[in-house]
């Protein structure tokens, strides 16, 4: 079996992996190998042909492929090695990667550090347990996106979309552009799960009806989807009897959430957080397994690619420091817990001493929409250490707060940190 050696192996060439590989190279790692199972680098950005990428980093409104192109070009310029069309089968704790591809057959890659950048996957029909027959015509929104935008064929003509995630709303507009009729978008929650801007420019602009607190009761059709029976639900997700409606259609698209893809991480034995489905990480984006770093949606699902790039840059920099024995490994790390109204916080561990060199961002998701002014607070369980006011907080939009060197003294006295979002008076 062919054996390759490198300083840093990056698994996945989406925005997280590209940024990590570039940063690793720029921070002194000699050989950086970016491994991708597709025939070309770029990841899911290549099928996200809509605009809205790069507003934070480039101050430009770019389509996904253009955003990816920038980082693909940069990775090539700084000397990242690409290994494309290669499927990883196994990664071991001592950083040996077993993979296969068409030209080399089976190969082994030995690395000093590994950056996990596998991204996330869509929830499927099985994961949301939709009753009814099993006809053709039920797809995830991302699968439909790949077909329509890259491969050049349509999933159907009359479409119902379950879930108001961003990909679902964007596909509603895209399919309308290409001549399909989107009959309905259904959302089981009482609020939108994607961004408001996508509701405005994807649904409202094209008069596509969105029904909140509605879901699919039954899929009808044997060979092919013939109709969807929908039903209203109450605040406890219980079906409202008598609210059923049959919508004739030939396709049901699912946009019902994304889950970090950690099959390989699990195999290594990396400790995963059940709240995020991603690895526990510190502020260097190092997992609890030494020398394994994680970048982007593999950690938790971001809503902006710009932030995935930011996380990838940090993971790449950290991995480069690690391979040069310059990463602080023995500093005491404080655990960060989620408090009131907060679903989870990234990172879960913070090296307080690192704050003397740079500020660190804590990123979180709220558990429910808070449509009134709120205060994001970092506390030691009692005393508030840092606080930030926001006009509102919504589950579709990630909330961040940063900790700086001025917080170090208070942080050092704390046993643990709790991040909470308190409602405040106007």
Binding site for another protein (CB under 8 A): 39-40, 42, 46, 49-52, 55, 61-66, 68-69, 149-152, 177, 195-197, 199-201, 205, 303-304, 397
> Closest Cα to residue 47, out of 103, 125, 119?
119
Residue 281 Cβ vs another protein, minimum distance, rounded to whole Å = 24
Residue 42 Cβ vs another protein, minimum distance, rounded to whole Å = 8
Residue whose tokens read 């561990």: 349
Given the complex with another protein, which of 23 and 62 has the nearer CB atom?
62
119, HSE (Cβ side, Cα atoms, 13 Å)? 19
Residue 421 Cβ vs another protein, minimum distance, rounded to whole Å = 18
How long is the chain?
426
Residue 140 Cβ vs another protein, minimum distance, rounded to whole Å = 20
Question: Per-residue DSSP letters for 264-324?
Answer: HHHHHT--EETTTTEE--BTT-B-SSTTEEE-GGGTS--S-HHHHHHHHHHHHHHHHHHHT
CA dihedral 16, 109, 41, 115 (to 10 degrees): 0
Tokens of 133: 């027959």
Contacts of 216 (CB under 8 A, 6+ apart): 130, 132, 160, 162, 186, 228, 229, 230, 231, 252
Given the complex with another protein, which of 131 and 152 has the nearer CB atom?
152
Given the complex with another protein, which of 141 and 277 has the nearer CB atom?
141
Given the complex with another protein, which of 61 and 239 has the nearer CB atom?
61
Given the complex with another protein, which of 86 and 318 has the nearer CB atom?
86
Q: What is the strand order of the sheet 342-346 is part of? A: 342-346, 360-366, 399-403
Report the SS3 class of residue 24.
helix
Given the complex with another protein, which of 89 and 196 has the nearer CB atom?
196
Given the complex with another protein, which of 152 and 241 has the nearer CB atom?
152
Q: Is the dihedral of CA 284, 286, 287, 289 positive or negative?
A: negative
In angstroms, the Cα distances linking 176 to 129, 168, 304, 365 are 28, 12, 24, 31
Residue 363 Cβ vs another protein, minimum distance, rounded to whole Å = 15
Report the SS3 class of residue 98.
strand
Q: What does the H/E/C string look like for 335-358? A: EEEECCCEEEEECCEEEHHHHHCC
Residue 102 Cβ vs another protein, minimum distance, rounded to whole Å = 16
Residue 69 Cβ vs another protein, minimum distance, rounded to whole Å = 4
Residue 180 Cβ vs another protein, minimum distance, rounded to whole Å = 13
Given the complex with another protein, which of 355 and 399 has the nearer CB atom?
399
**347 upstream amide cis, omega within 30 of 0:** yes
Given the complex with another protein, which of 291 and 296 has the nearer CB atom?
296
Residue 66 Cβ vs another protein, minimum distance, rounded to whole Å = 5
């Amino acid at each position: 079996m062919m054996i390759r050696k490198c300083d840093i192996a990056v698994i996945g060439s989406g925005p997280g992996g590209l940024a990590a590989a570039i940063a690793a190279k720029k921070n002194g790692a000699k050989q950086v190998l970016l491994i991708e199972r597709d025939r070309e680098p770029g990841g899911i950005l290549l099928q996200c042909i809509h605009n809205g990428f790069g507003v934070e980093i480039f101050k430009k409104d770019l389509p996904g492929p253009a955003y990816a192109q920038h980082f693909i070009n940069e990775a090539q310029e700084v000397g990242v090695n690409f290994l494309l069309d290669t499927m990883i089968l196994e990664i071991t704790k001592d950083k040996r990667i077993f993979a296969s591809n068409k030209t080399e057959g089976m190969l082994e890659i030995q690395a000093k550090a590994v950056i996990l950048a596998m991204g996330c996957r869509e929830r499927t029909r099985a994961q949301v347990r939709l009753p009814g027959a099993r006809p053709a015509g039920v797809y995830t929104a991302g699968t439909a996106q790949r077909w329509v935008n890259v491969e050049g064929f349509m999933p159907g003509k009359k479409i119902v979309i379950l879930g108001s995630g961003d990909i679902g709303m964007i596909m509603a507009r895209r399919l309308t552009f290409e001549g399909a009729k989107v009959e309905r978008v259904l959302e089981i929650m009482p609020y939108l799960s994607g961004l408001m801007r996508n509701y405005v420019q994807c649904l409202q602009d094209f008069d596509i009806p969105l029904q909140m607190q509605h879901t699919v009761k039954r899929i009808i059709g044997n060979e092919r989807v013939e109709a969807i029976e929908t039903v209203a639900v109450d605040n406890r997700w219980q079906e409202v009897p008598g609210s059923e409606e049959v919508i004739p259609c030939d396709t049901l698209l699912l946009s019902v959430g994304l889950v970090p893809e950690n099959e390989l991480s699990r195999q290594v034995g990396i400790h995963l957080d059940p709240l995020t489905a991603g690895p526990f990480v510190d502020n260097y984006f190092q997992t609890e397994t030494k020398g394994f770093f994680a970048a982007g949606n593999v950690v938790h699902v971001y809503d902006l690619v710009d932030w995935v790039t930011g996380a990838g840059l940090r993971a790449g920099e950290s991995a480069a420091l690690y391979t040069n024995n310059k990463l602080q490994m023995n500093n005491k790390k404080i655990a960060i817990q989620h408090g009131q109204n907060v679903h989870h916080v990234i990172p879960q561990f913070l090296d307080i001493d690192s704050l003397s060199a740079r500020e660190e961002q804590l990123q979180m998701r709220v558990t429910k929409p808070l449509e009134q002014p709120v205060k994001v607070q970092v506390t030691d369980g009692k005393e508030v250490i840092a606080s930030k006011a926001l006009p509102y907080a919504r589950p579709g939009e990630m909330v961040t707060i940063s900790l700086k060197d001025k917080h170090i003294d208070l942080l050092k006295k704390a046993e643990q940190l709790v991040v909470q979002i308190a409602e405040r008076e106007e």
